[in-house]
Amino acid sequence: MRILGIDPGYGITGFGVVEAQRGSCRLLRCGAITTPAGMDFSARLEIIYEDMRQLLETVKPDAVAIEELFFGQNVTTGIGVAQSRGVILLAIRQAGLPVSAYKPMQVKQAVVGYGNATKHQVQEMTKRILHLDALPKPDDAADAIAIALCHARSSTSLLSQHSKT
């Protein structure tokens, strides 16, 4: 199964493509969609949408996993990220792909085994699981890879397979 993981943002949207087969995973590609800070916000959303459509066409994932929004201290930033996430979800929907959303704590639990793991612990474990020589860059891409790994582990669990019957 080819899984596209997405860490949504409006300045940087990270992505990671993972191939999951029989309990093992390998990284196929990762990177980021970026938009200029001074640009009109609606133009930034258009770039994200068009780049996401192109990415979906290029990597042809079987499934997409995206991070759920977490509103911390800065609600204004959260609103912008929510709008970015909306155009990303639209592109996924138009591509006819299944999408699953995961909370940050679920990603940490799936990758590290501990829901309160640090960002560094998640990145290190991602590096180990995928047998990488270095941490993927930028951090947003590394986060997206972890989201894809979370989906790989969730979608292949016995509990998940049981609930589909």
Predicted confidence at residue 63, as pLDDT, reads 97
CB atoms within 10 A of CB 113: 10
Q: How far apart are CA 112 and CA 130, in angstroms?
A: 13
Q: How far apart are CA 125 and CA 165, in angstroms?
A: 32
This prediction has a pTM of: 0.90
3-class DSSP state of 11 = coil
Q: How far apart are CA 66 and CA 80, in angstroms?
A: 16
Q: For the chain, what percent of residues have pLDDT higher than 70?
A: 90
Q: Which residue has the higher pLDDT, 58 or 73?
A: 58
Domains annotated on the chain, with CATH: 2-163 (3.30.420.10)
Listing from the earlier edge strand, what are the strands of the sheet with 24-34?
Answer: 24-34, 12-21, 2-7, 63-67, 99-102
Mean pLDDT of 2-30: 95
Query: For this structure, is 143 an active site residue?
Result: no
Which of 67, 68, 124, 143 is an active site residue?
A: 67
Which of 19, 46, 124, 140 is an active site residue?
A: 140
Query: For this structure, is 140 an active site residue?
Result: yes
Q: Cα–Cα distances in Å, from 48 out to 105, 132, 141, 160? A: 25, 28, 15, 31
Q: Is the pLDDT of residue 142 over 80?
A: yes
Predicted confidence at residue 12, as pLDDT, reads 96
Query: For this structure, is 40 an active site residue?
Result: no
- Name the H helices within 16-157: 41-59, 75-94, 104-112, 119-129, 139-155
Which of 7, 51, 62, 143 is an active site residue?
A: 7
pLDDT in tens, 82-117: 999 999 999 999 999 999 999 999 999 999 999 899
